[in-house]
Amino acid sequence: MTHQYDFLVIGSGIAGLSYATKLARHFESNGEPVSIAVITKVQADETNTKYAQGGIAAVWSKEDSFDKHIDDTIDAGDGVNKRHIVEIVVREAPERIQELIDYGTRFDRHGNEYDLAREGGHSDHRILHFKDITGAEIERALLEEVQRHPSISIFTHFFAVDLITQHHLGETVYRYREDIRCFGAYVLNTRTGQVEKFLAKTTMLATGGIGNIYQSTTNPTIATGDGIAMAYRAKGICDNLEFIQFHPTSLYQPGKKPSFLISEAVRGFGGILKNADGSTFMENYDPRLSLAPRDITARAIDSEMKRNGTDHVYLDVRDADYDRFLEHFPNITQHCLDIGIDVRRDMIPVVPAQHYLCGGIRVNEWGQTNIHFLYAAGECSCTGLHGANRLASNSLLEAVVFGHRAYLGTIENLKDAYIPDNVPDWDDSGTTHPEEQVLVTEMTRELNSIMSNYVGIVRTNRRLRRAYERVELLYREHEQLYRESKVSVPISELRNMINVSYLVIKMAMSRRENVGLHYNLDNIKA
């Protein structure tokens, strides 16, 4: 089956929906016909966006300034950030957030003023939030806004398998060829099992993060790096994949996926990190104590756990004003209660878990990748905003700013776009349904273990080399299986996770200095 749209958007989180909405508004307000397909691999709201708790950062109060937000972002990013991108994002933030409000997003208020929270690494109060479910509120408002635009069609349970480029027209496409073009994607309709062709003048990758390459992650199961892997296979260029953020405080619940996040804002609210015996330890690592940036805090916890032989530490909020705590963190309070932790009496057991990818598909300031008519925004992209480490609450912001900028870039370049009429249908002749699903399950488990043990918070050259060799072996085994099999979501996701893990390891191996989130013990000795 062939679908033809003006625009194909892969992903229904904040990045994809912001972009689709902007395009729809643009054409509808000009009275021009337009067709936009948004595809999403499960239900529309099952996104990383929905799980965001803390909020979205912007300079909103008179006491704050763009310069302070810019400095904080670059400070957190260890100077690896692209300064002009940081300036763009910080300065455009209030306008984009006002648009979210106009779409119907609610943020908490004190009277007429927004209640601005302060999180680790921020020098001022600038986090707009809705209780501790900010992401769910933004996702709700954006999905409602999308419903108001008849030009947008949402395809749920459609899984993008591969991007369509000249390669599918029989040409040789190599990575640094300058005229690679994207014409859409092959997409698996997961209800029928058929791969359908989605042709489009412009394609947007807004596929989110990669958390599930690790054993513990706060990301939902959709986060398997599909967009990055698809772009890389289509000869897209990726950057900074070694910079993986581990959230210092996910709730300690062994075997639970995704890990439940105890928001950064809890530390901003006065939560104190402690060992089991009630002793504090952050004073040994950073003068900002429990408000230190995430990478320092995660390494400190990792080090305390190794030193004490424990598998978690604690976050203590027992001295906090309970009523105010409950008002700010109803979801966290309830979640803890559900597993028998009463935050008035008990310390919360916490452990670091993979949380966010700072790198991704390289894009310019208009969200364009090196492949013509292929854009990327949100967590799967690398704009240069975060540098070597993301400042808390800057990721929803980046996604909404770049959803907008990619829309401007798309409109600007549209006149040269076309859809060829000779794109072949998906060819799966000679393949069968694999009889042994256990192979995929086991390979995924193996990959998770390799990445968590060797490519986690603290790395060494030997661990990285080991990871590289093992992932290469997995790659070869999986390619064989993939070639012989009818395409399915588990097989494709594993293929993508192997591709992305390979990139993470390669980039970690070639980074010779410790900067931001990349921490290799051998770089200290060298």
Ligand X SMILES: Cc1cc2nc3c(=O)[nH]c(=O)nc-3n(C[C@H](O)[C@H](O)[C@H](O)COP(=O)(O)OP(=O)(O)OC[C@H]3O[C@@H](n4cnc5c(N)ncnc54)[C@H](O)[C@@H]3O)c2cc1C
Give the catalytic positions in this structure.
Answer: 294
8 A C-beta contact, residue 253 and residue 351: no
Q: For ligand X, give the closer residue by CB, 50 or 463.
A: 50
Which residue in this structure is represented by tokens 């803390």? 54
DSSP letter for 169, please.
G
Residue 127: CB minimum distance to ligand X, A: 8
Residue 246: CB minimum distance to ligand X, A: 12
Instruction: Figure out which of the listed residues 8, 10, 182, 388 binds ligand X, where binding follows CB under 6 A.
Output: 10
Residue 161: CB minimum distance to ligand X, A: 7
Q: For ligand X, give the closer residue by CB, 402 or 468.
A: 402
395 binds ligand X per the rule CB under 6 A: yes
Residue 31: CB minimum distance to ligand X, A: 29
Residue 132: CB minimum distance to ligand X, A: 9
Q: Which two tokens stand for residue 384?
A: 């240069």
Q: For ligand X, give the closer residue by CB, 13 or 121.
A: 13
387 binds ligand X per the rule CB under 6 A: no
Q: Which of 108, 66, 107 is nearest to 88 (CA)?
A: 66
8 A C-beta contact, residue 10 and residue 204: yes
Segments in 281-329 forming alpha helices (H): 294-308, 322-328
359 binds ligand X per the rule CB under 6 A: no
DSSP letter for 260, please.
P
56 binds ligand X per the rule CB under 6 A: yes
212 binds ligand X per the rule CB under 6 A: no
For the chain, helix (H) and strand (E) counts, in that order, are 15, 18
Rounded distance between C-alpha atoms, residue 304 and residue 521, angstroms: 16
How many CB atoms within 10 Å of residue 97? 23
Residue type, 498: I
DSSP letter for 368, please.
B
360 binds ligand X per the rule CB under 6 A: no
Residue 9: CB minimum distance to ligand X, A: 9
Q: Which two tokens stand for residue 514?
A: 């410790």
Q: Which stretch binds ligand X (CB under 6 A): 218-226, 299-307, 435-443, 509-517?
A: 218-226
Which uninterrupted H or E stretch holds 110?
strand 109-110
Residue type, 279: S
Instruction: Figure out which of the listed residues 47, 368, 370, 488 binds ligand X, where binding follows CB under 6 A.
Output: 47
**Binding pattern for the stretch 248-267 against ligand X, x by CB under 6 A and - elsewhere:** -------------x------
245 binds ligand X per the rule CB under 6 A: no
- Binding residues for ligand X, total number by CB under 6 A: 41
Q: Output the CA torsion 503→212→73→385 (10° steps).
A: 50
12 binds ligand X per the rule CB under 6 A: yes
Residue 143: CB minimum distance to ligand X, A: 11
Residue 493: CB minimum distance to ligand X, A: 8
Q: For ligand X, give the closer residue by CB, 208 or 468.
A: 208
Strands (E), 301-427: 313-316, 348-357, 360-362, 374-376, 381-382
8 A C-beta contact, residue 295 and residue 517: yes
Q: For ligand X, give the closer residue by CB, 53 or 105.
A: 53
Could you give the C-alpha distances from 104 to 69, 139, 404, 514, in angstroms and in order? 26, 11, 17, 43
Q: Which two tokens stand for residue 100?
A: 């979210």
CB-based contacts of 68, cutoff 8 Å, min separation 6: 59, 123, 124
Phi-psi region of 285 (alpha: psi -120 to 50; beta: other; left: phi over 0): alpha
Q: Which two tokens stand for residue 122?
A: 């921020």
Instruction: Figure out which of the listed residues 21, 49, 81, 240 binds ligand X, where binding follows CB under 6 A.
Output: 49
Interaction residues for ligand X, span 104-163 (CB under 6 A): 134-135, 159-160
361 binds ligand X per the rule CB under 6 A: no
208 binds ligand X per the rule CB under 6 A: yes
Which uninterrupted H or E stretch holds 28?
helix 14-29
Rounded distance between C-alpha atoms, residue 319 and residue 505, angstroms: 42
Q: Which stretch binds ligand X (CB under 6 A): 51-59, 271-279, 290-298, 434-442?
A: 51-59
Q: For ligand X, give the closer residue by CB, 389 or 520.
A: 389
369 binds ligand X per the rule CB under 6 A: no
DSSP letter for 261, please.
B
Interaction residues for ligand X, span 275-314 (CB under 6 A): none
Residue 484: CB minimum distance to ligand X, A: 21
Q: Which stretch binds ligand X (CB under 6 A): 219-227, 303-311, 435-443, 470-478?
A: 219-227
Instruction: Figure out which of the listed residues 399, 487, 497, 500 binds ligand X, where binding follows CB under 6 A.
Output: 399
Name the site residues for ligand X (rule: CB under 6 A): 10-16, 39-42, 47-49, 51-56, 134-135, 159-160, 206-209, 218-219, 222, 226, 261, 356, 378-379, 393-396, 399
